Amino acid sequence: MRFLMSCCPLYGHVNTALPLALAAQRAGHEVVVATGSDMTDHVARFGLDAWPVGPTHAQAGGNQQESWLTYFAATGARRADDLVPRAIDWQPDWVIHEETELAGPVVAALTGARHAVHGLGLMPPSRIWQPFAAGIEDIGRPWRSLDGAATLQAATYLHICPPALQSSDEAMWRTVQPLRPAAGLPVADERLPAGIASLSRDRPTVHLTLGTVFHEAHEVLAQAIAGLRRLPVHLIVTVGPAGDPARFGPQPAHVHIERYLPHALLLPRCDLVVSQGGAGALFGALARGLPQLVLPQGADQFMNAQACCDCGAGLSLTAEALSADAIAASAERLLMESAFRTAARRVQAQILAMPEADAVVESLLSAPHAGSWQHTHSLLPSGSRKYAP
């Protein structure tokens, strides 16, 4: 079968969907990942075909967004300009898109493909359904498709959130398939720097990151480094692929600052993660049974931080409580008090009980399909012939 997977051009969104794409490819299916041209080389490093569609993240305003909901709607519309005609020409059997990629439901509605929504973390709260539905309807209107929102709600939702962190809020999707979250995928030739790979286990190792979107919060990183380096730990800091480690000045020998390190290789060496609380960092650490200190910066991170605290696996510091002293004291508690690690390991056990991507691909293919195939070349807007046969 043909699997079309579509993602906003953000590392956390693309990386979360890659394990399922690779599982479909391992099962012998034809897989294409559609995203911004700034992410296609990254996708190709994993041996997957990639279509450059829509704006790059930088072209869409980068990390400084007044409203991420507006960002998802606006970039989805521009992505649809490239993706809809190409998808109609290719005729996928499956359309799978991450939950903020609002062009995906329109593509699924127009092609008649079977449809799944790949979660990114905690399921989005029901209060954002109306903005999502309105954005999808706006995206579909030029293509004379008014079924995108209904298509989204009827899709299977691939839920990567372990039960301990799930909200009691009303679910946006009727059909939910659990899917084990992956702690990042290393490329075949990736290695940790020798200085980090050879660190002794004579003291705990703490990883500090603000991810790939909020890493520009330099003052937060500086305060966290200042607090954590006081502790008798190995401190490993990542400042983002475009970040500058030299910005933070000379550091003592037990502090290591890098741009990027693959979590799949780094997290098994860690005892504590300090992060912004993005779902990738949060679930990646919990999959290793690691307690966390969350310093939420925006988007879904406040919700993630609360869920982590509520299940007993971490602590959180918001902006008004943030200081080097508070960060050091919180990290010390998380390292010294065994209850946090015990709670994190309970969540780890739940994650390990969730089905892996290979099993989920098999489950999707075996599920009954109520829809029928639609031939929709005639639905192309007037003058759109780029990918028409």
d(CA 275, CA 316): 10
Beta bridge partners of 205: 234
Q: Could you report the per-residue pLDDT of 354-375, keeping only the tens digit for each?
A: 999 999 999 999 887 644 333 3
The DSSP output letter for 91 is: -
* pLDDT band with cut points at 50, 70 and 90 for residue 385: very low
Residue 378: per-residue pLDDT: 33
Query: Which pLDDT value is given to residue 260?
Result: 87
Whether residue 294 is predicted with pLDDT greater than 80 in this model: the reply is: yes
Kindly state whether residues 170 and 291 are assigned to the same domain. Answer: no
Clarify whether residues 95 and 166 are in a common domain.
yes
- Taking 70 as the threshold, does the pLDDT of residue 75 lie above it? yes
Q: What is the pLDDT of residues 126-161, one digit of tens each?
A: 888 888 889 999 999 999 887 778 888 889 999 999
Q: Higher model confidence: residue 130 or residue 76?
A: 76
Asked whether residue 385 is domain-assigned, the answer is: no
Count other Cβ atoms within 10 Å, centred on residue 314.
30
Q: Is residue 389 part of a domain?
A: no
* Together in a domain, 330 and 370: no
Residue 204 clears pLDDT 50, i.e. is over it: yes
Mean pLDDT of the 180-190 span = 78
Q: Which domain holds residue 79?
A: 2-181+355-379
pLDDT at residue 12 is higher than 70 = yes
Identify whether residues 153 and 248 lie together within a single domain: no
In a domain, 189, yes or no: no
**52-57 own/partner pairs: CB under 8 Å, 24+ apart:** 52/82, 53/6, 53/79, 53/82, 53/83, 53/86, 54/9, 54/78, 54/79, 54/80, 54/81, 54/82, 54/83, 54/103, 55/9, 55/79, 56/9, 57/8, 57/9, 57/10
Residues 202 and 315 both lie in one domain: yes
Residue 75 lies inside a defined structural domain of this protein = yes
- 161 and 236 assigned to the same domain: no
Q: Is the pLDDT of residue 86 over 80?
A: yes
Residue 5 pLDDT exceeds 70: yes
What's the average model confidence in pLDDT over 234-255?
90
**What integer pLDDT is reported at residue 187 of this predicted model?**
75
Does residue 153 lie in a domain region? Answer: yes
Same domain membership, residue 374 and residue 296: no
The residue that leads in pLDDT, 148 or 341, is: 341
Both 140 and 8 in one domain: the answer is yes
- What confidence category does residue 255 fall into, taking pLDDT thresholds of 50, 70 and 90? very high
Considering the domain architecture, whether residues 294 and 203 belong to the same structural domain is answered as yes
User: Is it the case that residue 244 has pLDDT exceeding 50?
Assistant: yes
pLDDT at 371: 45
Q: With respect to residue 66, please indicate whether it lies within any of the assigned structural domains.
A: yes
State whether 116 and 145 are in the same domain.
yes
Quick check: 102 and 84 in contact, CB under 8 A?
no
* C-alpha pair distances (Å), 157 with each of 161, 333, 339, 354: 11, 37, 33, 14
Please check whether residues 257 and 140 belong to one and the same domain. Answer: no
Instruction: Look at residue 324 in the predicted model and tell me its pLDDT.
Output: 95
- 155 lies in some domain: yes
- pLDDT value for 261: 87
Mean pLDDT taken over the chain: 89
Quote the CA–CA distance of 90 and 86 in Å, as a whole number. Answer: 6
Total-model pTM: 0.87
Q: What is the mean pLDDT of residues 42-71?
A: 90
pLDDT of residue 158: 97
CATH number at residue 19: 3.40.50.2000
Mean pLDDT of 58-79: 88
42-51: per-residue pLDDT in tens? 999 999 999 9
* Residues 294/315, Cβ–Cβ less than 8 Å: yes
Longest dimension (CA), the chain: 68
pLDDT score, position 272: 97
pLDDT at 349 over 70: yes
Stretch (H or E) spanning 117: strand 114-118
Task: Give the total number of structural domains in the chain.
Answer: 2
| C-alpha–C-alpha distance, residues 348 and 354, integer Å | 10
Determine, yes or no, domain membership for 384.
no
Which residues make beta-bridge pairs with 255?
Answer: 235
Same domain, residue pair 360 and 341: no
Q: State the Cα–Cα distance between residues 68 and 87, nearest whole angstrom.
A: 26
